[in-house]
Structure 1
């Protein structure tokens, strides 16, 4: 069993507006991420939110939601809340960012298949030789994940235990792009139009 944790409780500081509810190809950014997760092999999906309208979107898609009352603590807080709310039988956690709208179920499934066929404790996707999301951590690392602080998520664990990590090359780098600025959002709009052609 693999649990997907969608981290959707950030502040969108660099965008100066709620980037998760921007429109991309006729759908909201967060909806595209949720749909990719729903269409994948994930056994359980949990969305961590701080704004009610994000929760409402998640409920519409029938996924579990968890309120983040301390989003200022960074990405690690969303990770911990998702882990604590997950099924006790889960074998691994997949951490998905809410602002990666070109993510698709094929990529999620590729990561899940790699985890199921390998003994690695941590799987990290590579887009154009750059580390990205979503990452998978074995539930054996649950205690270590619950100790992480700040906005770096599981990166500290990856840095300290390189022998546990397997890197998965993803052919289409566009899948790994997230958006922090208006210019990045505009670029993603253009890329999605190219993908749909």
Structure 2
């Protein structure tokens, strides 16, 4: 990692919404904007390189909700096999474009772009090759991975993201952001009501 390392952003936005009910939670609105678009703006408004969203091609309206943002859309037709398939798609996209990647979640609409900037700053300062945003000492999301972890991320399986890769990194660290949004996701309609 160097001070001029390129860091890409990947928004994982292909999951199902089992606990949310019949509608896709990523399309539920907060302050008049779909959750997925708010989460995408966290990355596009941060000081990073290219950004992509991994979506389920069976849910094209998620892609429609991102229209007008400077964001590539990567389709994952294997979403039923778990979140790891989206991580693999995101890594494949980022591998050709960046030295590191920040993974953010489409159901976390309150993460501040400055929290992504803090992760990137810590990475460029050499604080670690796997860095998670934290608040009050508790780990949250997004998470940044240096390219040395791309192969391990591409090998993850099941309904899991990069948690094991993060935990196995010998220089993993939590970066304090002071941002409670890094610990707030939306799984149920009640979660969303709590943000309003």
Asked whether the two chains share a fold, i.e. TM above 0.5, the reply is: yes
Matching residue of 2:31: 25
Could you say what secondary structure the match of 2:156 adopts?
coil
Matching residue of 1:171: 178
Query: Structure 1: 5+ residue runs without aligned partners?
Result: 190-197
Moved more, 82-91 or 133-142: 82-91
| Aligned structure 1 segments of 4 or more residues deviating by more than 2 angstroms | 57-60, 127-130, 158-161
Could you say what secondary structure the match of 2:73 adopts?
strand
Matching residue of 2:146: 138
**What displacement does 1:128 show?**
3.4
Instruction: Provide the rounded CA distance (Å) in 2 between the counterparts of 1:123 and 1:159.
Output: 10
**Larger helix fraction of residues:** 1
Query: Per-residue displacement from partner, 1:176-196 (whole Å, max 9, x unpaired)?
Result: 30110111111111xxxxxxx
Could you say what secondary structure the match of 1:156 adopts?
helix
Size of the alignment, in residue pairs? 188
- State the Cα RMSD in Å: 1.4
Out of 92, 98, 106, the residue aligned to residue 98 of structure 1 is 106
Q: Superposition pairs for residues 1-197 of structure 1, below 5 Å?
A: 1-16=6-21, 17-50=23-56, 51-86=59-94, 88-161=96-169, 163-189=170-196
Query: Structure 2: 5+ residue runs without aligned partners?
Result: 1-5
TM-score by length of 1: 0.90
TM-score by length of 2: 0.90
